[in-house]
Amino acid sequence: MTVVVVESPAKAKTINKYLGSDFKVLASYGHVRDLPAKDGSVRPEADFAMDWEVDGKSAKRLSDIATALKTDDRLILATDPDREGEAISWHVMEVLRKKGALKGKAVQRVVFNAITKSAVLEAMQHPRDVDAALVDAYLARRALDYLVGFSLSPVLWRKLPGSRSAGRVQSVALRLICERELEIEAFRAQEYWSIDATFATPQGHEFQAQLASIASRKLGKLDIPDETSARAIEQALRGQPFRVDATESKPARRHPYPPFRTSTLQQEASRKLGFSSARTMQIAQRLYEGVDIGGETVGLITYMRTDGVDMAPEAIASTRNAILKNFGEPYLPSVPRHYTTKAKNAQEAHEAIRPTDMSRRPESMRRSLDGDQLALYELIWKRTIASQMESAELERTTADIGADGADGKHYSFRATGSVVRFDGFLKVYSESLDDGEDEDSRRLPAMARGDTIGVRKIGAVQHFTEPPPRYSEASLIKKLEELGIGRPSTYVSILETLRTRGYVRLDKKRLIPEDKGRVVTAFLENFFRRYVEYDFTADLEEQLDKVSAGDIDWKQVLRDFWRDFTTALDDVKELRVTNVLDSLNETLASHIFPPRADGGDARACPSCGNGLLSLKLGKFGSFIGCSNYPDCKFTRPMSPGAEGAEALPAEGVVLGVDPETGEQVTRRVGRFGPYLQLGGAVEGEKPQRASIPKSRRPEEITLEEALKLLSLPREIGLHPETGKPIVANFGRFGPFVLHDGTYANLDSAEDVFTIGINRAVDLLAEKKARGFQRARPGALRDLGAHPAGGGPVQIMSGRYGPYVKFGKLNATLPRDKDPQSLTLEEAMELLAVREGKSGEKKKASVKKPSKPRPSAKSKTKSAAAKPARKTSKKPKAA
């Protein structure tokens, strides 16, 4: 019998059916070992020796494989066909060799690009050895990532308290996002005008045109700068006769797009289906591993982590047959199309993402797939079919419509349009556009030179130039690919890392850098500029590609990198924090010290008048403070536009006096935003404070409102069933009521002060009826049972913030995600990404999850009043 090792149990079950009883297929569940997250796991002084650690789960699985080999004489490593798959095979082989389980055993490697019976059986006929060059490239990349993370991150912790970590590729991606934000902030809109017209042919057919030239001089975009100029042109053309000066028609061809690779699939799924990159890859993984069709599990698409765009000859033949059968001979080109990738550093899994069987039309799969799976499969099927279809034939037409103005100048308007003469591949597929209108959707009516043209309308239209758009997930991935940075298997984890570490947030599907991310980027650009340069990162990737091709030694790449990197580290370690802050103040000046309306010094302290504002670093991040501290305690958030970032005196703005205590009530601004305070500081005691809700403008808060907020949490009454108190308060995500660990959201801020016991009990009962109650200590919500079965998916309250839990799998909740509104589907995405990070390309385990450890109990009142401020340990570097 032969033992076969694959990554996931789903693949193991399917492939065992294909191979029969002479084979025993076992799953490694992704990577079986990794570098321990501690110093010394890579030792440059020992020629980059690497110490690997097998986790408990993997140790048991490896023992199962070793046990199976006792009675078998052959091991086949059939992990995924990319670099990561090669690395997993090598790790499995090395661990088993150290166990002595491979003595006298034949060890072979097979790869298949699709989980179908024919593909698997064909692969078994062509075994090979583990590719040593690919493994060397993996070792070099893993060592580089470790060395950068565990060398650079401690420097960040010492010089920039509150920062989490830095990574070799994530820092470059963060720089892209921050630079785009700087471009947007530096952008100044410029006014310009256009002269648009609606004309009509002698037959009465209307069409649109725009002024293109004056007195034979072509107009640029900004050549009509203001309304005065635009109105003068309008006046010159009023009542003038127009005619056709010239028409031109040219044939054109549009060629189909190549089949999907990882990045283009993520981009199109984002545009057409609205999927995040993580969601796209989660669904693609399911389609690759297979679904049940007629009692048999069949993989529907080829491997989904690839930069390749060509297809196997048999796949091309199958696609051409499908075109002939479904669309007819005119849509089939005389020769097959072959594509080559333009992306740098292409993956070794060369074939594109395509259906495994082109005869499985999307409509025939409706009963086997859910809605999202069907949508993605249909997108892949159509793109694949279109890639082998005939080109579209168009006729592009331009018409120049002219008139002599009252000022003696000749004005020429241009109209453009296009007619599809033969739709070709457009019958099946058209790539989505990020911006603008597809000119193929516009058509000009017939007209000839000299024809008199009627004027329906001529008008001046005001425009303003627009800043470059922020990156979306799809456009950032496209940019990273263009620069040759990152890999198909890493794009999703890069984005997720930036969000979970609080460096960026996602707003309306656009990536916006947080202040923490901007500070880290400014620090790296000032003191480690070479290592966040796009060309340097891309060149390093090219060197790793040469390693994978066997052209250069992987340890020499590490020696060259480490020699220069350690020099830069030593230089920065000698810097004082004040030197760092001076550099950051200068680099970030336009963002943190914008010009004042009165023209005064942007860095002058608004409180004491003679202090200088500067970036300060605290345990919980960066803020702006006065150089005269502690005499002047003025602080504000880092971003001037942040909520509550107005300049207030250090003693705050007095709102009035509390009639019960006789103490002053003041409105103040701290590093975390605006707040209210009752009385002044007393030695050894902290004054009573309350945050101002985000729904209220701080300057509009009255004394009455302030006293209400300072009185929180408000006890509504005792629950009629438990006798325990129900309280109302504001939290991180808005107003709520709380009873015995169960939270229920309130509709408005005013409800905190007005809600009665009956309504509160009803809300809590409704929350429990939906299954979102706090099931046990530490759990915020139960989202319901995992689709694969086996236990609940929960949102837990952790020491470092909320996270999603299923069994023993935990996924941190990004800052822009509300635990109270997170859906089960979104939670599944986060869990899938977390699985991917640990290298486990498998479905979530259906084993009974272990019980979560109960968190420390806390008093109801203190929990409702204000969540305890979280203090973070130094995080582990990526």
Q: What is the pLDDT of residue 871?
A: 39
Residue type, 391: S
* Statement: residue 93 has pLDDT above 90: yes
Classify burial at 128, counting beta carbons within 10 Å of its beta carbon; exposed 0-12, middle 13-18, buried 19 or more: exposed
Task: Answer whether 0.85 is exceeded by the pTM.
Answer: no
Tens digit of pLDDT for each residue in 119-158?
999 999 999 999 999 999 999 999 998 998 888 888 887 7
Q: What is the pLDDT of residue 415?
A: 96
Lowest mean pLDDT among 82-96, 230-244, 367-381, 835-849: 835-849
Lowest mean pLDDT among 208-222, 247-261, 285-299, 400-414: 285-299
pLDDT higher at 758 or 808: 758
- Which residues, 6 or more positions from 93, have their beta carbon under 8 angstroms from its beta carbon? 75, 77, 102, 107, 130
Q: What is the pLDDT of residue 869?
A: 38
Q: What is the pLDDT of residue 867?
A: 41
Q: What is the pLDDT of residue 790?
A: 57
* Statement: residue 438 has pLDDT above 70: no
Which one of 138, 192, 303, 743 is the catalytic residue? Answer: 303
Q: What is the pLDDT of residue 337?
A: 94
Q: What is the pLDDT of residue 873?
A: 40
* Statement: residue 640 has pLDDT above 70: no
Q: What is the pLDDT of residue 858?
A: 39
| 531 catalytic per annotation | no
Residue with tokens 């005869």: 359
Tens digit of pLDDT for each residue in 464-510?
999 999 999 989 998 998 888 877 778 888 888 898 888 899 888 89
User: In what order do the strands lie in the sheet containing 792-798?
Assistant: 779-785, 792-798, 801-806, 809-812
Q: What's the CA gap between 77 and 58, in Å, rounded?
A: 16
Mean pLDDT of 504-531: 89
The distance from CA 811 to its chain's CA centroid, rounded to whole angstroms, is: 15
Q: What's the CA gap between 397 and 251, in Å, rounded?
A: 9
192 within 8 A of 464, measured Cβ to Cβ: yes
* Statement: residue 876 has pLDDT above 50: no
Mean pLDDT of 774-795: 65
Q: What's the CA gap between 587 and 178, in Å, rounded?
A: 12
Q: What's the CA gap between 199 and 209, in Å, rounded?
A: 7
Classify burial at 646, counting beta carbons within 10 Å of its beta carbon; exposed 0-12, middle 13-18, buried 19 or more: middle
* Statement: residue 645 has pLDDT above 80: no
Tens digit of pLDDT for each residue in 217-263?
999 999 999 999 999 999 999 999 999 999 999 999 999 999 999 98
**Average pLDDT value for the chain:** 84
